[in-house]
Structure 1
Amino acid sequence: MKQIGLVALGRNEGQRLRQCLVSATNKVARLVYVDSGSTDGSLELARSIGADTVELDLSIPFTAARARHEGFARLLEVAPAVEFVQFVDGDCELVDRWLQRVAQ
């Protein structure tokens, strides 16, 4: 099977983030969560699920493009063998078998 990584983006996602990351658990080689200044414990939640995390520098304006770029860079650091990357917002979930279908 192909190596797939997932980069999730969010800020104060709470339980939505849990659902997002759990929907990818055991389906990807590595999870990375990029946080845009959460104050609700989203970073700790992501870490407890086993995701690598990136905390965006608060002195630079947040953009989704910046978050995707920094998450992708982190993913390549921790899992250089990844062949495919799925980007997802922290309030979304992966549909069963989605990753397996697209990586065929």
Structure 2
Amino acid sequence: MSTAQQTQAELPPHVQLIQMVSGYWISKIIYAAAKLGLADHLADGPKTADELAGPTGTHAQSLHRLMRTLGGLGVLTSADDRTYSLTPMGEALKTGAPGSARS
């Protein structure tokens, strides 16, 4: 048994379950970012959710929450003026990026 499997098996069942659910949530968040093409919209530089709501066909406040969550996951980074930009991980969501996760 690998060290990762041993460590996982040693966790209490409720913690294992929370990790599984969190993985699902994270995958849905990243899927939403890819589906909206956020990385492509941010390729030219930082933008606010208000600026991206029109091009993505989304509600600005909801998009801001999504982008804030992506910031917490390390996909985006935010500035004090509520603009968001891509991190190296976020770059992998751009269309045509080497090894693009968007495909």
TM-score of the two chains, using structure 2 as the length reference: 0.27
Structure number having the greater helix percentage: 2
Q: More relative contact order in 1 or in 2 (CA 8 Å, sep 6+)?
A: 1
